Amino acid sequence: MPEASHSARCERALSEREFTCQIWGFDDASPYADVRLPDGTRCHAVLAPLAQPGTAISLRVPRRGGFSLDELRAAGALTAEGHDLVGGVVRARAAFLVSGGTGTGKTTLLAALLAAVDPAERIVVVEDAAELRPAHPQVVALEARPANLEGAGAVLLRDLVRQALRMRPDRLVVGEVRDAAVVDLLAALNTGHEGGCGTLHANSAADVPARVEALALSAGLGREATHSQLAAALDVVLHVVRDRGSGRRRLGEIAVLDRDERTGLVRTVPAVTFTDAEQSVPGPDPAVAALRALLRAEGRAGRGEPDAR
C-alpha cells in the first residue's frame, strides 16, 4: 500500500520536524516526547513503529480563560450547596486536595478555587507541566524540567516545592501530586502554610490516604510517619467524578479526614455526597460536624453547610 506508507512517512517527518523545534533527540533512539508549544498547547508524540499503525500525536489545548465557581455552578459541575461549601473551604484557608480520575476536571476545579482566593494573597504554583491558569492577580508559576541528552539539568517537582517555600507564599499549590514531592508538600503544610492544595489521581476519596502513602514511600517516608503528617497537614478532600452516561464532570464528594486512635492510620469520611441528580446526601454525623467546625473556624460558615441529621 504505497499511499499508506507515504502518509506514515509524512506523519513521522512532520512530528520530528515540529518536535525538534522544541527539543533535541526526538528520533528512533528516543521515540517519544512531551513538550509545551508557545501558545500553551501540550503536545505528546510517539513515533512508529512503537505507535501502530503510525505515529501518534496528541494535543491538549488549554482554555484561554479559567472557569469561576459561579460558571461551574451554571454548568452543572457544582450544586448550589457544593458551590457554597467549596467557597467556604477556600475562605477558611483549609488545606485540601482535589482528587479524581483522569479527565474528571481536577485542574479545572482547582483553578476556579484559586480564582476565589483573596486578591491580596500570593499564590505560588508548582507543576510538572504548566496547566493551571487561575484568574488571580498574584500568581507565581514554577515548572519542572526534564534532563537534557547528557542526563543533566533536571529540575524535579520536589526541588521546586522547596524553592517555592522561599518565595513567601500565602498559598502553596502543587498542580498534581504524583511523586516524592508529596513529602515536601506535607512538610510545608505542617509548618504554618495554611490553605495549601493540589490535585491527586485517585478513584475515590477513600483511596486518597493509600495513594499518598504509596507516593511518600517512594521518598523513603514510612507508613506511620506518612499518616502522622497527613493527619496534621490535610483538612479536606474534594473528589470529582465524570458521569458515564452524560460525560458531565462534577463534584461528587466532600470528605474530611479521620485518624484511627488504635492504628494511627488516616481515612477519609464523606461529609456530603452529591448524586448525578444534584441531590446532597449527608455523611455520618461526626464528619458533618467536622466540616461544619472547619468552616466556622474563620467565622465563614454559610448557608451551604450540610445539615446534621
pLDDT in tens, 156-211: 888 898 899 899 999 999 988 887 888 888 888 887 788 999 999 999 999 999 99
* pLDDT of 3 over the 50 cut: no
The answer to whether the Cα torsion of 72, 76, 82, 83 is positive or negative is positive
How many CB atoms within 10 Å of residue 38?
7
- Please list the residue range(s) of the chain that carry CATH number 3.40.50.300: 69-296
Report the largest interatomic distance among the alpha carbons of the chain, rounded to a whole angstrom.
71
Predicted pLDDT of residue 305 = 43
Q: What's the pTM?
A: 0.85
The pLDDT of 41-47, averaged and rounded, is 87
- SS3 call for 179: coil
Give the three-class secondary structure for 171.
strand
Among the ranges given (7-11, 45-49, 131-135), the one the predictor scored with the smallest mean pLDDT: 7-11
**The Cα angle at residue 204 between residues 200 and 205, in degrees rounded to 5:** 75
Asked whether residue 25 carries a pLDDT value surpassing 70, the answer given is no
Q: What is the pLDDT at residue 17?
A: 54
Position of cell 501518534? 56
Q: Provide the percentage of residues in the chain whose pLDDT is more than 90.
A: 57
What is 62-122 written as a DSSP string?
PPSSPPPHHHHHHTTSS-HHHHHHHHHHHHTT--EEEEE-TTSSHHHHHHHHHHTS-TTS-
Sorted by sequence, the CB contacts under 8 Å of residue 250 that are 6+ apart come out as 76, 77, 78, 105, 240, 241, 242, 243, 274, 276
Domain 69-296: CATH class, spelled out = alpha beta
Whether 298 has a pLDDT exceeding 80, the answer reads no
Considering the chain, what is the average pLDDT of its residues?
Answer: 86
Q: Mean pLDDT: which of 28-32, 112-116, 142-146, 159-163 is highest?
A: 112-116
Identify whether the C-beta of residue 133 lies closer than 8 Å to the C-beta of residue 39: no
User: What does the alpha-carbon distance between residue 201 and residue 130 come to, in Å, rounded to a whole number?
Assistant: 17
Radius of gyration of the chain (CA): 21
- Write down the pLDDT at residue 219: 86
